[in-house]
Amino acid sequence: RRKFLVTGGNGFIGSHVAKALFDRGEFVRVADLSPSSAFAEPICDETYTGNLCDSHFCERAVKGMDTVLHFAATMGGMGTIHEGNDLTIYPENSTMTFNILAASIRAGVRVFFYASSACVYPEHRQTDPNADVSLEESHVWDGGIPKPQGHYGLEKLTSELLVLQSASKINVRIARFHNVFGPRGAWNNGREKVPAAFLRKALSIALAGKFPAELEIWGNGRQRRSFLFIDDCVKAILKLVESTCDKPVNIGSDRAVAIEELAKIAVQCAGLQAEDVKFCYDSDSKPIGVCSRNSNNVFARETLGWSPSVSLEEGMKQTAEWIREEMKKNL
C-alpha cells in the first residue's frame, strides 16, 4: 500500500482523487481546512484538519507519506479570483505551496504533485474571441516577461518555478488544469465556475416554472473556453503521478466552445426548451477573464497517453443531475 497525502482533499478535484486512490486500496490521508468533503461515503483513511499556511501543520501532514498531491488553494471562478482579491490570494496560496513542498523535501517524500492552472498563460495571447487559442505548455515562456492572468495565475506560475527548482530533491509532477467541472464542484457559494453557474441558473428557472425567463451571461457570450469533466481529470492526474514527466502538462479538454453555447447546453440539461429562456448580457459589472482559451493536448497525449473521453454534453448532464439533487435538499 502506497501512502498518499492529498492536500485540499475535501475540495472538488482533491476529493475525487482521494476517493479514486482510496477505492484502489491505497492509504490516503487528507489535509484540508474543511473537515469533510461533498461525498457521503468515506474517501480516505484519515483526515487532518488544519491550515497549510502553518508550517507545523504541514510537517505533521507529510509525515510518513510517499507521495504528496497538493490541491489546496484559495480558488474559484472569475467571481472569486478577480483583481479585488489579488492581495489576499497570492500570499495564501504561495505560502501554502512553499510550506508543503519544503516539508515534503525535509521528510523525504518521493513524489510531489502540484495543481497549477491555465491562468499561467499570458493574457495577450488570449484576446481574440474569434480565434481558437490552443495553448501549448511552452507558450508561457515565448514572449519575454510572462504576464499570467492576475495574481492568481501569477502565484501558480511562481509556484511552478519553485516546484521545478526542487526537481533535484524530489520527483515533481505539475498539471495545468483548464476549467474542470462535475458533481461536487462549487455551484452556489460564489466560487463556482461557469458550467455549474449556468446549470444552477437553468435549474432554478425550471424549478420556478415561469417562462420565458432570463438567464444572465457575463460578457457578450462569445468568449471561448474548454471544459474538462472530473472523471477524465482524475484519470489524467493518476497517469501523470505514475509517469516520469517532470515538466508542466496541460490537463484540459481541447474542445473549446463559446460561453453562450455552454449556456444552451445547460438549458437543455435542465430539461428546458430553448424558447423557455432568454439570454441577457452583463458586459459592464461582471468579470469576463480572457476572450479565448483552449487546451493543447499534444504533450499530454505523447507523455501520458491520455485524452479526455467524456463529451461536454454528457458531463453537463451528470453535473445537472447532481446539482438538481443538491437543490432539492435545500428546498
Ligand X SMILES: NC(=O)c1ccc[n+]([C@@H]2O[C@H](COP(=O)([O-])OP(=O)(O)OC[C@H]3O[C@@H](n4cnc5c(N)ncnc54)[C@H](O)[C@@H]3O)[C@@H](O)[C@H]2O)c1
If one asks whether residue 142 binds ligand UDP (CB under 6 A), the answer comes out as: no
Least distance from its own copies to the Cβ atom of residue 7, Å: 17
Q: According to CB under 6 A, which residues from 278 to 297 bind ligand UDP? A: 286-289
- Cβ-based nearer residue to ligand X, 158 or 277: 158
Phi, psi of 297 (to 5 degrees): -105, 10
Q: With CB under 6 A as the contact rule, which of the stretches 19-27, 72-80, 101-109, 214-222 interacts with ligand X?
A: 72-80
Nearer to ligand X, 205 or 249 (CB): 249
Which residues pair with residue 292 across a beta bridge? Answer: 224
- Residue 253 near residue 315 (C-beta atoms within 8 A): no
Closest CB to ligand UDP among residues 47, 250: 250
Q: Choosing among ligand UDP, ligand X, its own copies, none, which partner's interface includes residue 78 (Cβ < 5 to 8 Å by kind)?
A: ligand UDP
- Check 48, 114, 121, 152 and give the catalytic one: 152
281 is catalytic: no
Q: What are residue 310's DSSP bridge partners?
A: none
Query: 90 vs 299, which CB is nearer to its own copies?
Result: 90
Of the candidate spans 42-50, 85-93, 184-192, 249-257, the one that interacts with its own copies by CB under 8 A turns out to be: 85-93
Residues 128, 152: Cα–Cα separation, whole Å: 22
Output phi, psi for 302, to 5 deg.
Answer: -65, -45
Residue 1 binds ligand UDP (CB under 6 A): no
Query: What binding mask, one character per residue, do residues 111-130 give for ligand UDP by CB under 6 A, x or -?
Result: x-------------------
The footprint of ligand X on residues 178-197 (CB under 6 A) is 179-180, 186, 193
Interface with its own copies by CB under 8 A: which range of 20-28, 38-46, 70-78, 148-156?
148-156
Q: Does 248 bind ligand UDP (CB under 6 A)?
A: no
What grid cell was written down for 16?
A: 475525487
199 binds, among ligand UDP, ligand X, its own copies, none (CB under 5 to 8 A by kind): none
With respect to ligand X, which residue has the nearer C-beta, 120 or 269?
120
Does residue 11 bind ligand X (CB under 6 A)? yes
Q: Phi and psi dihedrals of 73, rounded to 5?
A: -170, 155
User: Nearest CA to 6 among 18, 24, 23, 22?
Assistant: 18
Q: Does 179 bind ligand UDP (CB under 6 A)?
A: yes
Strand partners, 27: 3
Nearer to ligand UDP, 53 or 203 (CB): 203
Residues 11-50 that bind ligand UDP (CB under 6 A): none
Binding site for its own copies (CB under 8 A): 87, 90-91, 94-95, 98-99, 102, 105-106, 138, 141, 144-148, 151, 154, 157-158, 161-162, 164-165, 247
